[in-house]
Structure 1
Amino acid sequence: MIHSPMFHRFRSPQAADPAGGAGFLGQGARWGVSLGLLAILAGGCGGGSAPTAPPSATVAGDTVAAADLASGTAAETTSETTTETTTETTTETTTETTLAAEADRPPAYFTTPAGVAIDGTDAVAYFTEGEPRAGSPEFSYDWQGATWQFSSADHRDRFQANPEAYAPQYGGYCAWAVSQGYKAPTDPTAWSIVEGKLYLNYDRRIQQRWEKDIPGFIALANDLWTQVLEMEAP
């Protein structure tokens, strides 16, 4: 038997493991497995790159997000369209209702059947000449649903520049009648100017009643005119 140290160092695996276990080769295999496990564990503990979701999951998520965005956009568009349509419909209905109400409203000014105010009398002449004068179709101007006639182009132009300054109060209806709560036609010769405003009466007899308390009747007529205006014309 050789007892040399070199012999022991390089003896065969079988001599090292007489029971048949793995010698150097068996141990090497075990170390290989151990090192493999360590490498896997090291990679899982942060040594390797971070795990990523499968591509299919990312695609699916993007698809859902895109679908949600498209759905939201469609909903907003539908809502805006509905709102615009509703607003337009409401506006059209309101306009039609207003126009219908205006069409049904009695005329603001007393006129002849032909639509001529003050029986064709020149409204400006009351102020410039101190008396009523007949107007002419040659010098006419349409205002507030009535045709106003004048004795000259100058009077027509004055009226056109400031109709409220010359038109009779209470739509040309009898001022005394309005103070009593109703409408009555007027006679252009039964007139008066009070504090720069023209008032007409039904006739001379009613004008005498009016003259008994002009300030009081004006106050009454002012309070009642809004209601009287809605009444049917005489």
Structure 2
Amino acid sequence: MSFTSLFSKSLPTFIAACAFSFSSLASAGADTETDSNDVILAGHDAVAYFTENKPVLGSAEYTATYNDAIYRFSSAKNRDLFSANPTKYAPQYGGFCAYGTTFGKKFEIDGKAFEVVDGKLFVNKNVSVYEAWKKDVPTHISQANKEWPAIENVESSEL
């Protein structure tokens, strides 16, 4: 077999391998709290926080991608609502803990502690952290809004 023949047969495999390698590098950035599969909100349905006022686990069957994060939904209807207006449903501070953001920190969340305030979704690390956050929501949102620009693009491990 000649080099040219070997090269022409190997080239498609090489290109596919390179494409796969580079696609795995395209993941959610430092500004978004996702798991190792780039799923945000610990897999909870972003729309359900607004429509059902409770955390509802989404399904891998109904997904949408926004800001390099994968959102899961409990229904096609919720996925479609999100896709039509993702900024309406996406969590503040990239889905990091709202209370932690007030201290210039980025903490993972469990998806169960949340509040919708003035049409915006705020999530917290867990229910006990949420209890501290809700004692003065307006002040905590103001503090987090001041801190977020400085930490948004910094890896959580560097804070």
- 2:141 maps to 1:218: yes
Quote how far apart the aligned CAs of 1:201 are: 0.7
Aligned residues of 2:40 and 2:71 also touching (Cα < 8 A)? yes
Structure-1 residue corresponding to 2:121: 198
**Following the alignment from structure 1 to structure 2, what is the Cα–Cα distance between the partners of residues 145 and 107?**
11
Q: TM-score, normalised by structure 2?
A: 0.78
Q: TM-score, normalised by structure 1?
A: 0.54
Structure-2 residue corresponding to 1:165: 88
Quote how far apart the aligned CAs of 1:134 are: 1.0
Helix, strand or coil at the partner of 2:111: strand
**Following the alignment from structure 1 to structure 2, what is the Cα–Cα distance between the partners of residues 110 and 122?**
15
Aligned 1:5-20 pairs, distance under 5 A: none
**Cα root mean square deviation, aligned:** 1.5
> How many residue pairs get matched?
131
Q: What is the percent sequence identity of the aligned residues?
A: 41
Aligned residues of 2:98 and 2:122 also touching (Cα < 8 A)? yes
**Following the alignment from structure 1 to structure 2, what is the Cα–Cα distance between the partners of residues 182 and 214?**
17
**Following the alignment from structure 2 to structure 1, what is the Cα–Cα distance between the partners of residues 56 and 124?**
17
- 2:117 maps to 1:180: no
Map Cα deviations across residues 18-63 of structure 1 (whole Å, 9 max, x no partner). xxxxxxxxxxxxxxxxxxxxxxxxxxxxxxxxxxxxxxxxxxxxxx
Q: 1 or 2 for the larger relative contact order (CA 8 Å, sep ≥6)? A: 2
Extract structure 1 runs of 4+ deviating beyond 2 A: 105-108
Structure-2 residue corresponding to 1:136: 59
- 2:39 maps to 1:119: no
Quote how far apart the aligned CAs of 1:142 are: 1.2
Aligned residues of 1:183 and 1:231 also touching (Cα < 8 A)? no
**Following the alignment from structure 2 to structure 1, what is the Cα–Cα distance between the partners of residues 143 and 35?**
26
Q: Which one has a bigger Cα radius of gyration? A: 1
Aligned 1:41-120 pairs, distance under 5 A: 106-120=29-43
**Following the alignment from structure 1 to structure 2, what is the Cα–Cα distance between the partners of residues 143 and 183?**
19
Quote how far apart the aligned CAs of 1:107 are: 3.0
Residue 125 of structure 2 aligns with an amino acid whose one-letter code is: Y
Aligned residues of 2:42 and 2:109 also touching (Cα < 8 A)? no
Map Cα deviations across residues 170-202 of structure 1 (whole Å, 9 max, x no partner). 000000110111111112111111111111111
**Following the alignment from structure 1 to structure 2, what is the Cα–Cα distance between the partners of residues 149 and 107?**
20
Aligned residues of 1:106 and 1:233 also touching (Cα < 8 A)? no
**Following the alignment from structure 1 to structure 2, what is the Cα–Cα distance between the partners of residues 206 and 149?**
24
Larger helix proportion of the pair: 1
**Following the alignment from structure 1 to structure 2, what is the Cα–Cα distance between the partners of residues 177 and 216?**
13
Unaligned runs of 5+ in 1: 1-102
Aligned residues of 2:30 and 2:154 also touching (Cα < 8 A)? no
